[in-house]
Amino acid sequence: MTVPRSTLRLQFHRGFTFDDAARHVEYFAALGISHLYASPITTAEPGSMHGYDTVDYTQVSAEYGGEVGLRRLVDKLRAHDMGLIADIVPNHMGVGGSSNTWWLDILEWGRHSAYARHFDVDWHSPDPALRGKVLLPTLGASYGDELMAGRIGLHFAADSGRFYIGYGPHVFPVCPVDYAAILQGADRADLSALANRFQGLTTQPADQPRAAEARDALREFVAREGASAIEFVLETYAPEDPVTRDRLHRLIERQHFRLAWWRTASDEVNWRRFFDISSLAAVRVERPEVFEAVHALIFRLYREGLVDGLRIDHIDGLAEPREYCQRLRQRLSELRDTAPYVVVEKILGRGEPLRDDWPVDGTTGYDFMSDVGALLHDPAGAEPLANTWSELTGRSARFADEAHAARRKILAENFSAELDRAARALHRIARDSLSTRDFTYPALRRVLTELVVHFPVYRMYPLGGLRSAADNVYFERALAGARASLPRSDDATLERVNAWLGGSAEEAPPARPGAQSQQQAQGGGAQPHAGSSRRSAQTLFSQLTAPLAAKAIEDTACYRYGRLLSRNEVGSDPGEFALSVEQFHAGNLERAQRFPHAMLATATHDHKRGEDVRARLAVLSEIADEWGATLRAWSTLNAPQRRALDGTPISSVSQDKSDAWAPGPAAEDMLYQTLVGCWPPDLSADDEAGVKELAERVAQWQLKELREAKLQTSWLAPDEAYEAGCHEFLFGILAPQRRDAFLKELSAFVGRIGRAGALNSLQQTVLRLASPGIPDLYQGTELWDFSLVDPDNRRPVDFAKREAWLPQPQTPPSEFLADWRDGRVKLAVIQRVLALRAHLPELLSQGTYLPLTVRGAHASNVIAFARRHGNAWAVVIASRLAAGLLGDEGDLPLVEPAQWADTAIEMPPDLSARALFDWLSPAAPKVDDHGLLYLRDALAAMPVAVLVEDGVPRS
């Protein structure tokens, strides 16, 4: 297997192409990267900035440079002994435009489309208006209003010979069965002759080739006669006249789609989406023909050696993640002699294992990002910060309360249709048995609601229709929560649903007479027996709990709860404030044993705050009382800038816990944290241009934060007056005239904690580079990363600057510590440790992980471990929770050596007689006769150290 030594994630789009990346390959190689790690390379919606809205799985994106550009990039990578990891999106496709031919085909032909079973469409909706149709919730207002306004019309595409319903940029193909009537409506002999070609057509697959031939004749006719020839036809369906508008409406009603206001999606959508995004339709990759179609290109690129490994996006969206991973591994192994490198994007709860029966190399690193982030936090700050948050905002001090409320809200408002579909699956099972036919749909939906709301992780993974012991750990918690919430009269229903969702292997009760035939008549023929019906219900349950967890926790509760925003990150539980050194070691030991090649990330394209924003905010956990006092002082200072909820200025506001002003206490608290976290180290309070640029970036974050919180405003129902008031508050407190007031205080506060934040950043950097796993860098984070949530974290990266600043290999990172604000010290640390991974590849990739004991006055302010492979050793040491040790004097993110006093590391006996030197500085600390290495020696020049044996080359 080609295991990466290190990866660097790049986001491709039309503004950053394969050729753009190729121009920086020399830099990536000099930095120490072994594999580029690319965002999806398949064709996405035109103009996509992320690539996760694939519209064509069979073509490399032309906007990125096409396959020719990809080959040029790979050729250059190969010339530098580098490889390529590709991100693939097997769960969903973009359907928000007019570029997805699979989706357009099912809109045209309905259930008889060749791609009808590629998408997860419920063709048998209980709503008669949706049977055999696809709901298209794309209209900006109600269907009747948009039709009356003339914004929906019949159009003709001359290049393809197709009639379509157009709405803005959207294209909805008309079924060719209707072409004959459309053409005859113009009452012209030539068009009527063309209409005859379409007479008698049906939607059956056998008729579709004839339809294509007839369309070709229509296209040729228009090309010969001119577009005006078809205008007569379109005029008979013009939306401006009541008679022709009614004809247009009746034509639309006959199609295999139903146009609807976008607000209907949450309640009525009859196809599975990615989360609650109606421009992304889920595909049924569990079907063999869909699996092959989705992966055809990537399999060819892998077989030809252009791609060395894969990152699987949103594995929890798939019906059967285990079977998918097994099938993928098998197919890849058949294509090349070497075993493939495969990692999955998986959010793990605390204590939740990545399943051993998934043949993958690990996760993409969210679990490590959470662990190393929690390690930066002082547990003593948890309670006072929570109390401050609650006192200032009136909201709960417990994240669990916000999470539970968010789950219930999002389920009801965003996933009602998905909940209905899962409940109907359970109801079909109930109706198929005499003993359960009296379990009503409302009761089943009520029980299912509580199970989903209380389910604590993303999903379960039953095998053969039964939950595993690992699944039951979490399902039992959901059961307990449901029992506590439901009336006792629902106990029997709850227990039966528990059994159907994999809790029991009992034989199904005798079916009532005629049950199977009725099930098939109702569209349930795909589940002809109890076992498959249960598995279908289990899949629908899992494909509901996973998006609910993402939307309720990451995209709602994390924007409502603000004890400390450094813990509100993708893959983290904000309720888990800190991690001890022992717990961090335990996580590394488990990873080394079970998934030694998992990715180690501290920044991603999805992060809410850059890695150095989080590292700086973590310092607040060490000064919780001071931060609480600072918050109160700033709130008082900036009270004159508050706005009424309608956005108008107000001179004063009562200091109660009411949210009746903009931005309100919770949003104000989060705003101050954000400003503290992302304030650039070199920004001066009197730099008007720099402060304005920062304010504009924060304003983007603020709007997203307010709408994601879904309290005063939301994406579904924006309160633009309130949002304007919040915007004015932000720009008001950062206005130039306040440079000697709030701006001065903000800048000074960041200056006080900046050194400790930088120290935290270097700590998490070296731990990522030296822990068991594959270190992953996100584009541009080699220097300080003070980015916010997208699109801020996807801004263009100045790679030329980074290349120019890349140190000479023999220059130790300690040389740049004095100028730490420019970020070169971080760049140098990354380069040096990656050089060590290249020089001794087995040591940090396969070496044994040995936690080391620290003793002395400040033992709790150090983390240390050793890596050993054969006779080679590396000892990794980092300062932690060092704000108190740094004090107010000095300008370096470095604890004065004397401050460490008697703090020392108990070194492994094998190292007691060996000479060690620091890979990051000129230091060569000695182990004393008692086997102790004193921190005053080991961390004299840098706050982190990587010690190796003397004699190892330095370049």
Q: What is the pLDDT of residues 617-651, one digit of tens each?
A: 999 999 999 999 999 999 999 999 999 998 888 85
Residue 1 has pLDDT above 70, yes or no: no
**CATH class of the domain defined by 101-277:** alpha beta
- Per cent of the chain over pLDDT 90 is 91
Under DSSP, is residue 37 helix (H, G, I), strand (E, B) or coil?
strand
CA dihedral 336, 312, 102, 280 (to 10 degrees): -170
pLDDT in tens, 560-614: 999 999 999 999 999 999 999 999 999 999 999 999 999 999 999 999 999 999 9
- DSSP codes, 854-902: EESTTGGGEEEEEEEETTEEEEEEEE-S-HHHH-SS-SSSS--GGGGTT
| 372-404 exposure pattern, b = at least 16 Cβ within 10 A, e = fewer | bbbbbbbeebbebbbebbeebbebbbebeebbb
> Residues 521-535: what's their mean pLDDT?
59
Structural domain spans, the chain: 7-91+285-364, 101-277, 399-539, 798-949
Q: What is the DSSP letter of 281?
A: E
Partners of 87 in beta bridges: 311
Pairing relation of β-strands 35-38 and 7-10? parallel
Alpha-carbon distance of 504 to 709, in angstroms, equals: 39
Amino acid sitting at position 689: A
Question: Tell me, what DSSP letter sits at residue 911?
Answer: G
How far apart, in Å, are the Cα atoms of 808 and each of 590, 812, 813?
36, 9, 10
* Model pLDDT for residues 286-331, shown as the tens digit of each residue: 999 999 999 999 999 999 999 999 999 999 999 999 999 999 999 9
Residue 186: predicted pLDDT? 82
pLDDT at 809 over 90: no
Give the pLDDT confidence of 672-681 residue by residue, as tens digits: 999 999 999 9
DSSP H or E segment with residue 934: strand 932-934
Instruction: Answer yes or no: are the C-beta atoms of 529 and 510 closer than 8 Å.
Output: no
What tokens does 129 get? Answer: 């208006």
Over residues 522-538, mean pLDDT: 66
Percentage of the chain surpassing pLDDT 70?
96
Average pLDDT score over the chain:
94
Residue 219 has pLDDT above 70, yes or no: yes
Tokens of 19: 């050729």
Q: For residue range 229-287, list pLDDT tens digits in order.
A: 899 899 999 999 999 999 999 999 999 999 999 999 999 999 999 999 999 999 999 99
pLDDT at 446: 98
Q: What integer pLDDT is reported at residue 7 of this predicted model?
A: 98
Q: Are 422 and 540 in contact (CB under 8 A)?
A: yes
pLDDT at 521: 40
Name the band, by pLDDT with cuts 50, 70 and 90, for residue 656. Answer: very low
pLDDT digits (tens, 9 = 90+) for 382-406: 999 999 999 999 999 999 999 999 9
**Closest among 278, 318, 316 to 103, alpha carbons compared:** 278
Judged against a pLDDT cut of 50, whether residue 889 lies above it is answered with: yes
pLDDT band at residue 504 under the 50/70/90 scheme: confident
DSSP letter for each residue of 159-219: TTTEEEEEETTEEEEPPGGGHHHHHHTT--HHHHHHHHHHTT--SSGGGHHHHHHHHHHHH
For residue 506, what pLDDT band results from cuts at 50, 70 and 90? low
What pLDDT does residue 229 have?
Answer: 83
Read off the pLDDT of each residue in 43-64 and give the average, rounded to a whole number: 97
Residue 660 pLDDT class (50, 70, 90 cuts) = confident
Which strands make up the sheet holding 92-94, listed edge to edge? 92-94, 277-282, 273-274
Q: What is the pLDDT of residues 91-132, one digit of tens each?
A: 999 999 899 999 999 999 999 999 999 999 999 999 999 999
So what's the pLDDT on residue 955? 43
Give dist(CA 883, CA 758) in Å, integer. 11
User: Biggest alpha carbon distance in the chain?
Assistant: 106
Q: Is the pTM for the entire model greater than 0.85?
A: yes
Tell me which residue of 828, 825, 826, 874 sits closest to 848, measured CA to CA: 874
pLDDT in tens, 13-26: 999 999 999 999 99
User: Coil, strand, or helix at residue 823?
Assistant: coil
Instruction: Give dist(CA 513, CA 528) in Å, integer.
Output: 14
Residue 941's pLDDT band, with cuts at 50, 70 and 90, is: very high
Mean pLDDT of 719-740: 95
- Residues linked to residue 16 through DSSP beta bridges, in sequence order: 13
Q: Is pLDDT at 693 greater than 50 in this prediction?
A: yes
Q: Which CATH class is domain 798-949?
A: mainly beta
Residue 162, number of CB atoms within 10 A of its CB: 19
920-937 pLDDT per residue, tens: 999 999 999 999 999 999
Query: Alpha helix locations (H) across 657-775?
Result: 665-678, 688-709, 720-733, 742-770
Judged on CB neighbours under 10 Å (0-12, 13-18, 19+), 801 is exposed
Distance separating alpha carbons of residues 580 and 860, to the nearest angstrom? 9
Residue 519 has pLDDT above 70, yes or no: no
pLDDT higher than threshold 80 for residue 508: no
- pLDDT over 50 (residue 903): yes
For residues 41 and 64, give the distance between their C-alpha atoms in angstroms, rounded to a whole number.
8
**pLDDT value of position 527:** 39
The predicted-structure confidence for 751-761, as pLDDT tens digits, reads as follows: 999 999 999 99
In CATH terms, the superfamily for domain 7-91+285-364 is Glycosidases (3.20.20.80)
**What does the pLDDT average to over 791-802?**
96
- List, in sequence order, every residue forming a beta bridge with 8; answer none if it has no partner: 36, 777
pLDDT of residue 838: 95
- Number of alpha helices (DSSP H) and beta strands (DSSP E) in the chain: 34, 25
pLDDT greater than 90 at residue 531: no
Q: Render pLDDT for 342-355 as a digit per residue (tens, 0 to 9).
A: 999 999 999 999 99
Torsion angle of C-alpha atoms 588, 589, 590, 596, degrees rounded to 10: 70
Q: End-to-end CA distance of the chain, in Å?
A: 28
pLDDT per residue as tens digits for the range 851-888:
999 999 999 999 999 999 999 999 999 999 999 999 88
Class of residue 80 by CB neighbours under 10 A (exposed 0-12, middle 13-18, buried 19+): middle
Q: Once rounded to an integer, what is the mean pLDDT over residues 425-439?
A: 95
DSSP for 333-402?
Answer: HHH-SSPPEEEE-----TTPPPPTTS-SS-B-SHHHHHHHHHHTS-GGGHHHHHHHHHHHH-S-S-HHHH
Tokens (6 digits) for 436: 């359960």
In this prediction, residue 513 has a pLDDT band, given cuts at 50, 70 and 90, of low
